[in-house]
């Protein structure tokens, strides 16, 4: 709608000036306005926001509405424009609880640990050339690598869940998922989400590093501070 209005505005007023300088000034202003608009149509007018807010997507498209839990690495289903803090099944607790406050304090340290992990591992763009393996296979192998991600490897093995396929590892990372308690629509969205992320396992790279960072931060907190 905004694009069409700009076009109509330009056609309406172009050629109405007697002097060329006025035309040049007008088009300079138009170019400035166009440069300030998003490159893609990622803006929304109020009516579109309201329509999107109350329009329930189908389960397949709903798979894209998953965001990280605010207090760990697990995923949370959240519709567009919902304002609440995303919390997974394990951490859906009031903000007044000591556990909530503890994890909020850990979050800054988790981000530092995650950056250190990113810097310590080879860039995914170099994996195939340097290690001779596909990046997705490399990311999968990291999950059970006790040398690079020891806390995550130990955690996944402790769950006593199958860890052979991409989807099994992803389900373990997201564990627990109470599909029987969240309704048919959300359960179906979860299934599409897991299938999609298992198929494109490379997209789980930051989640995997976040899991290691959270588990490491928890271990350091339990032992009274940062390990050297």
Query: Is there a cis peptide before residue 196, judged by omega within 30 degrees of 0?
Result: no
Q: Give buried/exposed letters for 76-89 (b at 16+ CB in 10 A, else e).
A: bbeeeeeeeebbbe
Domains of the chain, residue spans: 2-36, 56-222
Give the DSSP H/E element, type plus range, for residue 119: helix 98-120
Q: Predicted confidence band at 209 (pLDDT cuts at 50, 70, 90)?
A: very high
Q: Predicted confidence band at 86 (pLDDT cuts at 50, 70, 90)?
A: very high
pLDDT in tens, 27-80: 666 665 665 555 555 545 554 554 455 566 788 888 888 999 999 999 999 877
- Give the integer Cα–Cα distance in Å for 215 and 149: 10
Confidence at residue 58, expressed as pLDDT on a 0 to 100 scale: 83
pLDDT in tens, 102-147: 999 999 999 999 999 999 999 998 998 988 999 999 999 999 999 9
Q: Predicted confidence band at 227 (pLDDT cuts at 50, 70, 90)?
A: very low
Confidence at residue 228, expressed as pLDDT on a 0 to 100 scale: 41
* Percentage above 70 pLDDT, the chain: 72
- Give the integer Cα–Cα distance in Å for 142 and 172: 14
Confidence at residue 83, expressed as pLDDT on a 0 to 100 scale: 76
The owner of tokens 């926001």 is 49
Per-residue pLDDT at 204 exceeds 90? yes
Confidence at residue 55, expressed as pLDDT on a 0 to 100 scale: 63
Choose among 87, 55, 46, 51: nearest CA to 78. 87
Q: Predicted confidence band at 161 (pLDDT cuts at 50, 70, 90)?
A: very high
* Percentage above 90 pLDDT, the chain: 53
Q: What is the mean pLDDT of residues 162-182?
A: 93
- Give the integer Cα–Cα distance in Å for 22 and 30: 12
Confidence at residue 36, expressed as pLDDT on a 0 to 100 scale: 56
- Is 203 within 8 Å of 197 (Cβ atoms)? yes
């Amino acid at each position: 709608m905004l694009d069409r209005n700009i076009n109509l505005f330009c056609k309406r007023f172009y050629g109405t000036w007697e002097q060329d300088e006025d035309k040049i000034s007008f088009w300079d202003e138009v170019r400035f306005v166009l440069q300030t608009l998003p490159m893609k149509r990622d803006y929304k007018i109020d009516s579109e926001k309201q329509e999107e807010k109350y329009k329930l997507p189908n389960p397949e498209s709903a798979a894209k509405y998953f965001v990280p839990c605010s207090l760990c690495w697990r995923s949370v289903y959240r519709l567009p424009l919902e304002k609440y803090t995303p919390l997974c099944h394990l951490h859906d607790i009031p903000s007044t609880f000591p556990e909530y406050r503890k994890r909020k304090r850990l979050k800054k340290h988790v981000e530092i640990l995650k950056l250190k992990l990113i810097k310590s591992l080879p860039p995914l763009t170099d994996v195939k050339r340097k290690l001779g393996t596909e990046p997705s296979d490399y990311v999968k192998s990291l999950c059970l690598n006790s040398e690079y991600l020891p806390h995550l490897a130990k955690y996944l093995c402790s769950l006593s869940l199958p860890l052979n396929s991409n989807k099994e590892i992803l389900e373990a990372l997201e564990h627990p998922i109470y599909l029987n308690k969240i309704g048919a629509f959300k359960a179906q969205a979860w299934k599409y989400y897991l299938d999609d992320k298992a198929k494109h396992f490379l997209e789980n790279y930051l989640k995997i590093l976040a899991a290691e960072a959270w588990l490491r931060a928890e271990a350091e907190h339990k032992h009274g501070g940062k390990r050297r």
